[in-house]
Amino acid sequence: MADNSVETTVLIVEDEVFIRMIGVDMLEDSGFRVLEAKNADEALEILKNGADVKVLFTDIRMPGKMDGLELAEFVHARWPEIKLLITSGHCRLSDDEVPDGGRFVAKPYKLETVIEQIRKALIER
């Protein structure tokens, strides 16, 4: 499998600062470009400003007008080319419950699992 992390931007959306920092560090250490947002509003602002995001990696539960699933549905409707990876420590979803054939990773997650899911999503059309 080709390593396309170098040209891939991941937008991580997580309201818990420490968890977001760990996520950003692990993705950057794996060669991805990373943008970060603490809620759906910030994420949408980043996307509306034209960031070349390939993967949205979002927590489900977060404050604001939209939770992570609603954000994923909105992103899929507006930017269908963006791959979706959803996470939560409060509930479990099957991949079938994630919009647009996205993927679910339960918290606490392992670095290898997240990277594997992102790479799988990138090669699927």
CATH says 9-123 is which class?
Answer: alpha beta
**Interacting residues of 105 by C-beta distance below 8 A, sequence separation 6+:** 85, 86, 87, 113, 114, 117
Closest of 101, 46, 94 to residue 72, by C-alpha: 101
Position 83: which residue type?
K
Token pair recorded at residue 40:
């759906």
Helices (H), the chain: 17-29, 40-48, 68-78, 111-123
pLDDT in tens, the chain (125 residues): 445 556 799 999 999 999 999 999 999 999 999 999 999 999 999 999 999 999 999 999 999 899 999 999 999 999 999 999 999 866 666 666 666 778 888 888 888 899 999 999 888 76
Residue 53 neighbours by CB distance under 10 Å: 21
pLDDT of amino acid 3: 54
Q: Give me the residue spans of the domains in the chain.
A: 9-123
